[in-house]
A and B are shown apart, each in its own frame.
Chain A
């Protein structure tokens, strides 16, 4: 079945800097890759997703890139702000389209 690995597990950046989180997946049949943001005391919130027919997608300060050949995808956050501090999860659709999640990245933006 699908296996998703996520790195790094924690990431500290200075406010205004960029943050990059990377994920790899194992199932070449996967074609949907969402990213979720989870703030303290809340459930995961879908922030951006990409499908395998595109290589990059951007929404204001966040972007996701996908390399299907290498089976990895990344989340890029530019001009980070303190409110970006949260846990970020990547996922990929596995068998029967069930989402398989990475272990999460704790992002801390220092002001």
Chain B
């Protein structure tokens, strides 16, 4: 185990639903990340939080809303998603977001939008 946990592991939701993904890291890190992994595409960085402050929003649609209440927890709130949003959503953490590069990933949440 990498020390990064994600729940739920699988999620099926309709386009009108609202759901949240949760990530927790037990590594004492200060930076946390959300990535989207789609089939046959490189990992896409969505959001970065460093010391609880959002430092990156990679042109992500507003139907994805991140929340970082503290350095150990990260949420991704989902609403009115589209079928093309179906993907594996990965959370990662690193010591900090500026000078430490090693990122440790959670197992991901497999999201299916129907």
A43 touches B108 (CB 8 A): yes
Stretch of A11-19, A61-69, A75-83, A94-102 lying at the B interface: A94-102
A44 touches B45 (CB 8 A): no
Chain B residue at minimum C-beta to C-beta distance from A43: B105
Q: Restricting to A42-91, which residues have a CB under 8 Å from any CB of B?
A: 42-46, 49, 89
Instruction: Say yes or no for B43: interface residue by CB 8 A criterion.
Output: yes
Consensus secondary structure, chain A interface? strand
How many whole Å from A25's CB to the nearest CB in chain B? 12
Instruction: Say yes or no for A93: interface residue by CB 8 A criterion.
Output: yes
A103's partner among B41, B56, B90, B105 (CB-CB below 8 A) is B41
Chain A residues near B101 (CB-CB < 8 A): 32, 34, 49, 93, 97, 99
B107 touches A43 (CB 8 A): yes
Query: What is the bound-complex CA distance between A54 and B30, given in angstroms?
Result: 28
Chain B 80-114 interface 0/1 with A at a Cβ cutoff of 8 Å (1 = within): 00000000001010000111011111111000000
Query: What is the bound-complex CA distance between A32 and B100, given in angstroms?
Result: 10
A97 touches B98 (CB 8 A): yes
A98's partner among B2, B45, B108 (CB-CB below 8 A) is B45
Chain B residues near A34 (CB-CB < 8 A): 101-103
A98 touches B105 (CB 8 A): no
Instruction: Say yes or no for A109: interface residue by CB 8 A criterion.
Output: no
Chain B residues near A21 (CB-CB < 8 A): none
The residue among B97, B101, B102 with the most chain A CB atoms within 10 A of its own CB is B101
Residues of A within 8 A of B (CB): 4, 32, 34, 36, 41-46, 49, 89, 93, 96-104
- Sort A-B residue pairs by CB-CB distance and give the 10 closest, nearest first: A43-B105, A101-B43, A32-B101, A101-B42, A44-B105, A43-B107, A103-B42, A43-B108, A43-B106, A42-B107
